[in-house]
Structure 1
Amino acid sequence: MNILQNIHAFDVQTFYWCMARKRRMLLTRIGRTVSFSADGPLYALAAFAFWLLGYDTLVWVLLMGFSLERLVYFILKRGFKRNRPADALDNFSSFIIPSDQFSFPSGHTSGAFFMAFCVSEWFPSMNLMLYFWAANVGLSRIFLGVHFPTDTVIGALLGCFCAAVAIGVLV
């Protein structure tokens, strides 16, 4: 058994563990709202608000970093072509309809961690709240049944990496 098979087996086991939680339906309802908070248009609104407030450098970091993040995200998505849980597992249906076919990496999680990292650089007092939100975005994607756990872990790493690069280049 190779390493990817071992990772997938662990992922499936962890995914089923999440799906077996007593309060899964409550977590799913909450997850819809948390997941919605990480939709792309809201990031554009946030960038516009930062621009209005005079945080021009932050806006440039967000624009450059999101461009990098989306590029790498699409390359990984199309390169790995990992099926979503509903397509990979027998007798499982997700609780929402995903926006695209493949699951690796989680774009919602990547975007959330990207925003948490960037905004934390300008507003360090919000650090804990932002990363708590980002982690919950990742968990929501699992509990909604559209991602395996490693999809969200790699999404988080991708978002943080792209934020670090953009901040390193522009600040």
Structure 2
Amino acid sequence: MRAIQPIAEFDLAFSLFCLRHRFNRQVASISKVISRTGDGHLYIVLGFLIWWLDHQDQGQFFRSGLLAFAIHLPIYWLAKNSFRRRRPKELSELLTCFITPSDRYSLPSGHTAAAFLIATLIGNFYPEFYVIALCWAALIGLSRILLGVHFMTDVLIGALLGIACAQGALLIMAV
């Protein structure tokens, strides 16, 4: 446990830095909008839209996404309930949480994992949009920190989880 203590201290200090400034409410307003794009509705719409519009794709993006999420969700759930890392607000009364999280624990960030999963799939199928997708995924991760529901390492591990699940699905499907 002592090995992760410096990481936990950094996480808390970074969260304090991000959340204890005079513009935190304005930043939170913008972050809420960004975070909402990672709630999951957009992924379903995007999958069906690509399936409908891209006739050369033949549903590969959609099927890859379904498989990637089928891999991702059990790992995400198991990690959340194994690590049981408390959210930033629970560790410091000095921190403000601007939204109500959808679940109890913070590690890994599910919003970030899903966003990087989708960004990785977009990069594979539509490389011309990869940079935009990665920037969007990174903004979702940052928004989760700025809303006070995740620590930096929650977001980093979420990003790695999303990328790994997408890559795993792509390997399985040999796309």
TM-score by length of 2: 0.92
Output the amino acid matched with 1:143.
L
| Identical-pair percentage | 37
Alignment size in residue pairs: 171
Q: Where in structure 2 are the equivalents of 1:94-109 lying within 5 Å?
A: 94-109=97-112
Match of 1:87 among 82, 90, 95: 90
Tell me how far apart the structure 2 counterparts of residues 71 and 47 of structure 1 sit (CA, whole Å). 21
What's 1:47 paired with?
47
Tell me how far apart the structure 1 counterparts of residues 161 and 154 of structure 2 sit (CA, whole Å). 10
1:130 aligns with 2:117: no
Output the amino acid matched with 2:138.
A
What's 1:140 paired with?
143
What's 1:33 paired with?
33
What's 1:63 paired with?
66
The more displaced of 55-64 and 136-145 is: 55-64
Any idea what the Cα deviations from partners look like across 1:6-27, whole Å, max 9, x if unmatched? Answer: 2111110111111234543332
1:127: Cα distance to partner? 1.2
Any idea what the Cα deviations from partners look like across 1:44-70, whole Å, max 9, x if unmatched? Answer: 111111221233111111000011111
What's 1:14 paired with?
14
Tell me how far apart the structure 2 counterparts of residues 87 and 21 of structure 1 sit (CA, whole Å). 19
TM-score by length of 1: 0.95
1:158: Cα distance to partner? 0.4
Any idea what the Cα deviations from partners look like across 1:96-153, whole Å, max 9, x if unmatched? Answer: 0111110000000000000001011111111111111000000000000000110000
Tell me how far apart the structure 1 counterparts of residues 81 and 60 of structure 2 sit (CA, whole Å). 32
Which residues of structure 2 form unaligned runs of 5+? none
The more displaced of 128-137 and 38-47 is: 38-47
Q: Where in structure 2 are the equivalents of 1:106-125 lying within 5 Å?
A: 106-125=109-128
Runs of 4 or more above 3 Å deviation? 20-23
Alignment root-mean-square deviation, CA: 1.3
Tell me how far apart the structure 1 counterparts of residues 80 and 142 of structure 2 sit (CA, whole Å). 19
